[in-house]
Amino acid sequence: SDKTGTLTTNNMSVLKFFVVDNAAKDKAALQEFDVTGSTFAPVGEVTRNGRPARLKGNSAVEELATICSLCNESSVDYNESTDKYTKIGEATETALVVLAE
């Protein structure tokens, strides 16, 4: 089996992301976030240092969400007959759509 599960199940999810907190000259401080959820369902929690992250008003996170949504050709569809969310498009791009949601 592969490390991500993409080859075996064609699923992918975002587990962690980083944004620049501030930058000066040749140094940058990063904010690191962890993400729960392992399916295409748009549910989960974003945490920072083990606590729920404050995302609203964080311009770097908002810009990342915009990029994940607009620079993307995939989407998520809810299938009522199977009661599951499914991907339309590439697994990597769909994982970014779910993160933005």
Burial category of 98 from C-beta neighbours within 10 Å (exposed 0-12, middle 13-18, buried 19 and up): buried
Q: How far apart are CA 19 and CA 54, in angstroms?
A: 13
**Known catalytic residue at 2:** yes
Return the axis-axis angle of helices 59-70 and 91-100, rounded to nearest 10°: 140
Type of residue found at 87: K
Kindly name the residue from 2, 26, 77, 83 that is annotated as catalytic.
2
Q: What does the alpha-carbon distance between residue 44 and residue 78 come to, in Å, rounded to a whole number?
A: 16
Provide the β-strand partners of residue 88.
75
Instruction: Return the active site residues.
Output: 2
